[in-house]
């Protein structure tokens, strides 16, 4: 397939994209034209095959195939309502897979939607990783701020460590920081939070922010009163998690945050080095 034809098909598929309820989709009658089907009845047969493939893959049909109606011109000034269907990227991929690959637009669509679906999956996975990195940074900042506040109120670094461990004990259902490290196989020299999943990291951050706020609000001083406050806040956060059937001590450890950060930087470096560049200008003679 020539480059010019690929660019033309790519533009056609991209221009047909619509958005419904925040989801990128294509209308079936537009896709029918893009894939070179003359008759709607024939295209419906391909859609039915795609629906069957969707169900066999364990997906819910209405998540990817949504019946809609639209108005079309049937004369110079006359419109009528016709049945149509909104299709997700995955639905379009299945339709292309069930079409005749000897037809050039269908062969193109098979690759186009496969790559677009993979890009979306990679993007979602990448955003999850970045979310965890950002959550860990926010927790570090929250604990740093709390430590500074407690220092002004008679609590030194060792005292802050004890308060944090008591808070962990309340959050993790009786396991203190050292015990959770052993449970998850974390080195004693590494912070526990570097190996916690995002939801637990955010829970710890919330508890720290609550303690910081109430210490200032209630003008608390000394290790005992602040420990009690921090334990109560962690218990409250744990209750909220348990309400959604989430128990932090039962969650498996996440990837070492340091390795995750290095991996993302390396992947970014490779992607940037291999990205497209403007052609070099020819030197004038």
pLDDT one-digit tens code per residue, 96-130: 999 887 788 888 888 888 887 777 777 778 888 88
On whether residue 51 sits in a domain, the answer given is yes
Distance CA 162, CA 226 (A): 11
On whether residue 118 sits in a domain, the answer given is no
Question: Residue 241: which domain range?
Answer: 128-257
Query: Do 89 and 201 share a domain, yes or no?
Result: no
Domain count, the chain: 2
On whether residue 283 sits in a domain, the answer given is no
Distance of CA 225 to the CA centre of its chain: 39
pLDDT one-digit tens code per residue, 35-54: 999 999 999 999 999 999 99
Q: Which of 93, 34, 42, 106 has the alpha carbon at shortest distance from 65?
A: 93
HSE-up of residue 138 (Cα within 13 Å, Cβ side):
18
> Beta strand pairing status for 79-88 and 18-20?
unpaired
On whether residue 178 sits in a domain, the answer given is yes
Query: Do 80 and 174 share a domain, yes or no?
Result: no
Last residue of a domain, one of 49, 82, 99: 99
DSSP conformation letters of the chain? --HHHHHHHHHHHHHT-EEETTEEEEEHHHHHHHTT---HHHHHHHHHHHHHHHHHTT--GGGTEEEEEEEEESSSS-EEEEEEEEEEHHHHHHHHHTS-TTSHHHHHHHHHHHHHHHHHHHHHHHHHHHHHHHHHHHHHHHHHHHHHHHHTTT--HHHHHHHHHHHHHHHTTT--HHHHHHHHT--TTS-GGGGS-HHHHHHHHHHHHHHHHHHHHHT--SHHHHHHHHHHHHHHHHHHHHHTT--GGGSPPPPPHHHHHHHHHHHHHHHHHTS--PPPPPPP-
On whether residue 267 sits in a domain, the answer given is no
Tokens for 73, please give them.
Answer: 């011109």
Last residue of a domain, one of 62, 83, 99: 99
Quick one: pLDDT at residue 275? 46
On whether residue 105 sits in a domain, the answer given is no
Q: Mean pLDDT, to the nearest integer, of 64-74? A: 80
Query: Do 136 and 219 share a domain, yes or no?
Result: yes
On whether residue 7 sits in a domain, the answer given is yes
| Percentage of the chain lying above the pLDDT 90 cut | 60
Distance CA 25, CA 23 (A): 6
Query: Do 162 and 55 share a domain, yes or no?
Result: no
Distance CA 218, CA 149 (A): 13
Query: Do 227 and 133 share a domain, yes or no?
Result: yes
pLDDT one-digit tens code per residue, 148-201: 999 999 999 999 999 999 999 999 999 999 999 999 999 999 999 999 999 999
On whether residue 253 sits in a domain, the answer given is yes
Query: Do 215 and 142 share a domain, yes or no?
Result: yes
pLDDT one-digit tens code per residue, 13-35: 888 888 888 888 899 999 999 99
Asked whether 271 and 140 are in contact (CB, 8 A), the reply is no
Distance CA 275, CA 169 (A): 48
Query: Do 173 and 212 share a domain, yes or no?
Result: yes
> Any residues with CB less than 8 A from the CB of 173 and at least 6 apart, and which?
238, 247, 248, 249
Query: Do 84 and 140 share a domain, yes or no?
Result: no
């Amino acid at each position: 397939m020539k480059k010019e034809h690929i660019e033309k098909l790519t533009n056609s598929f991209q221009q047909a994209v619509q958005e419904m309820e925040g989801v990128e989709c294509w209308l079936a009658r537009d896709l029918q034209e893009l894939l070179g089907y003359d008759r709607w009845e024939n295209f419906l047969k391909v859609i039915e095959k795609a629906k069957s493939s969707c169900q066999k893959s364990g997906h819910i049909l209405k998540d990817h195939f949504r019946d809609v109606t639209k108005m079309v011109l049937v004369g110079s000034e006359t419109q009528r309502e016709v049945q149509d269907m909104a299709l997700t990227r995955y639905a379009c991929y299945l339709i292309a897979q069930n079409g005749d690959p000897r037809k050039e637009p269908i062969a193109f669509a098979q690759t186009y939607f496969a790559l677009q679906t993979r890009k979306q999956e990679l993007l979602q996975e990448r955003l999850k990783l970045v979310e965890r990195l950002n959550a860990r940074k926010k927790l570090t900042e929250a604990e740093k701020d709390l430590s500074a506040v407690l220092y002004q109120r008679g609590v030194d670094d060792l005292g802050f460590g004890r308060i944090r461990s008591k808070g962990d004990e309340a959050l993790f259902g009786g396991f203190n920081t050292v015990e959770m490290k052993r449970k998850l196989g974390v080195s004693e020299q590494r912070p526990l939070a570097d190996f916690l999943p995002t939801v637990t990291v955010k829970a710890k951050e919330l508890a720290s922010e609550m303690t910081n706020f109430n210490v200032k609000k209630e003008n608390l001083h000394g290790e005992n009163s602040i420990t009690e406050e921090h334990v109560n806040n962690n218990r409250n956060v744990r209750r909220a998690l348990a309400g959604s059937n989430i128990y932090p001590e039962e969650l498996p450890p996440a990837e070492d945050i340091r390795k995750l950060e290095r991996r993302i930087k390396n992947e970014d470096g490779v992607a940037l080095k291999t990205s497209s560049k403007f052609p070099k200008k020819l030197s004038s003679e």
